Structure 1
Amino acid sequence: MGYAVVLGEALVDLLESDLSGELIYRQAIGGGPLNVSVGATRLGGDVRYVGSLSNDILGDRLSAFLRTAGVNIHGVKRVPVPTTLAVTTFEGAEPTFTFYGEPPSYALLEPGDLNTAEIAAADVLYTGSICLLREPFRNAARAAWQVPGPLRVFDPNIRPTLLPDAAALDTVRTMVEEFFATADLVKLSSADAAVLYDGAEPPAAAEHIRKLGAKAVVVTWGARGAFVAAEDGTAMLTAPKVDAVDATGAGDSVMGALISRLLSTGFPPGLAGWQSNVRFALAVAGLVCERQGGATAMPTNEDLTARWGALV
């Protein structure tokens, strides 16, 4: 089995919680790409996280968490700015994020910080999420994306609170479509699809992204499951029934699970293989939703077997 390189943000979530009737904010490790790194690692993948972390105490905690989780962090760049905070509020189990910290600690990776030989030798390269909204990270991601060799996996992870107007949305759409066009796999949420494509539902968004050039598209659709579009067809897969308490990181867990499958079994030759992989990923996400969310909720294969029995 080879390894995956994951480029993107790591930050600290402040999660809105209730403590005996008092509203508090619980500190948690976060950032979509960090969650993906931990999720894939806990499922048996070899993951090398590449990004910028603050040299403050919160950055130390992020670094220690990744190391303890088994994620390789020798590609991390430490930077002298405060760690970005994501204040997370909820409507039911669904989170909304507001970000604090300027410049963002997570977006200071530069093209010259990349180990291009390591990227070229990887089986999978992942990037995406809010770090692409800022330089110099965006140029670093573009440089990594151009390195030949690995399967290229992308998640736009759109955060509307970071898009103040229609012009900002247009800019983001153009940028993410640049990555869509050359991706082997695009994973996005139904909310991402609706924001990017004026309320489009997953089938229409997936068709559009496939026409841009992506080889496979997986659109998560909350409790309904996920829509899959491959080169030889499409399918709608239902999600397992769960008692969701916190959906934070659920989409990231789907990506982590898909990366773990790409590492263990390679790129599926057709829709049937993608259906198997996505069923597995939805089982992972279901278990994440039953836990307090984020990176700490990412399950192991043993956790999955204990909860769901034998998985396809």
Structure 2
Amino acid sequence: MGYAVVLGEALVDLLDAEHDGEPVFRQAVGGGPLNVAVGVARLGAAVQFVGSLGDDVLAGRIRRLLTDVGVGTAGLVTRPAPTALAVATFAGAEPEFRFYGDPPSWALLTADDLDVALVEGADVLYCGSIVLLHPSTLAAARRAWTLATGLRVFDPNVRPRLLSGPDALDGVRATTAEFAASAHLVKLSAADAELLYPGQPVDQVAAYLRGLGAGAVVVTLGARGALVAAGADPVPVSAPEVRAVDATGAGDSVMAALVADLLADGPPAGPAGWTDRVTFALQVAGLVCESPGGALAMPTREAVTRRFPA
């Protein structure tokens, strides 16, 4: 088994909570790509995180969490900036995020910062999420994508609150098409699909991305499971029944499970293999939803097997 490189943002989530009857914010290390990296490590695979951190106490906590769970940090750079924050409020289990930090500490990675050997040696490269909204980090992601010699996986992970100006969404749509065209796997949520391609059914969105060149497309549908497009026709995959308390990081855990299995076994031989892998990934996500805390909720394979023995 080789290793994965995950390129993207790391920040601190402030999660809306309550203590002794008073509203408080619970601090948690977060960022979609960081959640993916932690999830891959927790599932027993080797992974390196590539991105930029600030130079404050919160950045130290991010680095310490990555190290503690076994995520490599050789590709991290430190910049003189406060750690960016994502404030999450809840209307049900799904969080809504607002982002704070100017410039964001996660947007300070440049193409020249990349460890070329680290990226070229990866068996799987993940790129995606909000780092693609900033020119310098988008350039870094493009360079990594070009350097990659292994499998390439992509997740747009669109955050509407960060889109500014009338052309911002068109830019995200163009970037999504660019990366999807040479991706072995694209994972996106139904919310991403609706934002990028309004009014289009998710099966048509998946078919469109495959038509661009993506090898397989997985669209997560929350409690309804996921849609897998890897053959002639998209296939629905049901989610397990869980006692959801916090969906933070659930979609990221789906990607983490898929990346971990790509590292362990390579691409599936056919569409049915993708269905089996997404079934397991949805079990991972279900377990994440049963615990608060995003990255801290990422489970081990043993924990998934105990929770879903069938």
Query: Which TM class, normalised by the smaller chain length?
Result: over 0.9
Aligned to 2:152: 152
Q: Is the 8 A contact 2:14 2:85 kept in 1?
A: yes
Q: Percent of counterpart pairs with the same letter?
A: 58
Provide the C-alpha distance between the structure 2 equivalents of 1:72 and 1:175, rounded to a whole number of angstroms: 27
> 1:231 Cα shift?
3.7
> 1:234 Cα shift?
2.1
Aligned to 2:204: 204
Q: Is the 8 A contact 1:119 1:150 kept in 2?
A: no
Aligned to 1:167: 167
Provide the C-alpha distance between the structure 2 equivalents of 1:152 and 1:276, rounded to a whole number of angstroms: 20
Q: Superposition RMSD on alpha carbons, in Å?
A: 1.1
Other structure's SS at 2:73 match: coil
Aligned to 1:16: 16
Aligned to 2:117: 117
Aligned to 1:241: 241
Other structure's SS at 2:67 match: helix
Provide the C-alpha distance between the structure 2 equivalents of 1:199 and 1:64, rounded to a whole number of angstroms: 43
Provide the C-alpha distance between the structure 2 equivalents of 1:173 and 1:12, rounded to a whole number of angstroms: 27
| CA distance 1:207–1:166, change in 2 (3 Å) | farther
Q: Is the 8 A contact 1:116 1:147 kept in 2?
A: yes
Q: Is the 8 A contact 1:233 1:271 kept in 2?
A: no
> 1:23 Cα shift?
1.4
Counterpart residue type for residue 50 of structure 2: V
Provide the C-alpha distance between the structure 2 equivalents of 1:295 and 1:232, rounded to a whole number of angstroms: 35
Alignment pair present for 1:126 and 2:126: yes
Q: Which moved more, 1:192-201 or 1:68-77?
A: 192-201
Provide the C-alpha distance between the structure 1 equivalents of 2:216 and 2:209, rounded to a whole number of angstroms: 9
Provide the C-alpha distance between the structure 2 equivalents of 1:307 and 1:256, rounded to a whole number of angstroms: 18
Q: Is the 8 A contact 2:155 2:186 kept in 1?
A: yes
Counterpart residue type for residue 66 of structure 2: L
Counterpart residue type for residue 191 of structure 1: A
Q: Is the 8 A contact 2:10 2:51 kept in 1?
A: yes
Provide the C-alpha distance between the structure 2 equivalents of 1:225 and 1:51, rounded to a whole number of angstroms: 30
Aligned to 2:191: 191
Aligned to 1:284: 284
Q: Is the 8 A contact 2:125 2:148 kept in 1?
A: no
Aligned to 1:35: 35
Other structure's SS at 1:47 match: strand
Other structure's SS at 2:223 match: helix
Other structure's SS at 1:41 match: helix
Aligned to 1:229: 229
Alignment pair present for 1:268 and 2:268: yes
Q: Is the 8 A contact 2:122 2:148 kept in 1?
A: no
Counterpart residue type for residue 202 of structure 2: P
Q: Deviation string for 1:173-220 (max 9, x for gaps)? A: 111211111111000000000000013232111011111111100000
Other structure's SS at 1:18 match: strand
Runs of 5+ unmatched residues, structure 2 = none
Provide the C-alpha distance between the structure 1 equivalents of 2:50 and 2:148, rounded to a whole number of angstroms: 18
Aligned to 2:64: 64
Provide the C-alpha distance between the structure 1 equivalents of 2:148 and 2:305, rounded to a whole number of angstroms: 36
Other structure's SS at 1:268 match: coil
Q: Deviation string for 1:42-85 (max 9, x for gaps)? A: 00110011110111100000000000010010111011000000
| CA distance 1:148–1:249, change in 2 (3 Å) | closer
Other structure's SS at 2:200 match: coil
Other structure's SS at 1:282 match: helix
Q: Is the 8 A contact 1:6 1:47 kept in 2?
A: yes
Q: Is the 8 A contact 1:7 1:128 kept in 2?
A: yes
Aligned to 1:75: 75
Provide the C-alpha distance between the structure 2 equivalents of 1:133 and 1:80, rounded to a whole number of angstroms: 21
Aligned to 2:177: 177
Counterpart residue type for residue 25 of structure 2: Y
Q: Deviation string for 1:251-270 (max 9, x for gaps)? A: 00000000000000101121
Counterpart residue type for residue 252 of structure 1: D
Provide the C-alpha distance between the structure 2 equivalents of 1:79 and 1:93, rounded to a whole number of angstroms: 34
Runs of 5+ unmatched residues, structure 1 = none
> 1:166 Cα shift?
4.0
